[in-house]
Structure 1
Amino acid sequence: MIDMDKIYLITDIPGYTPQISRLLSMMNYVRYTTLETTENLTVDQLDFLLDSESNSIGALLMHFAAVEYAYQVGTFEKRELNDEEMLIWGAALELGEEGRRKIRGNNLNYYLDKLNEVRNRTYEFFRTVNDDWLYQEEEFWYQKQANHYFMWFHVFEDEINHRGQIRMIKKRLNV
Structure 2
Amino acid sequence: MRTHKHSLHHPSLAAAARPHFRLERWHRRGLYLLFAILFASGISWLVAHYWLRVPGEFGESIHPLEHWSMQWHGALVLPVSFLIGSMLFQHMRRAHRAACNRGSGWSMVLLLLWLALTGYGLYYLASENWRPYWSLAHWLTGCALPALLVLHIWLGRRKTGR
Normalised to the residue count of structure 2, the TM-score between the two structures is 0.37
* Higher percent of residues as helix: 2
Structure with bigger RCO (C-alpha 8 Å, 6+ apart): 1
Higher CA-based Rg: 2
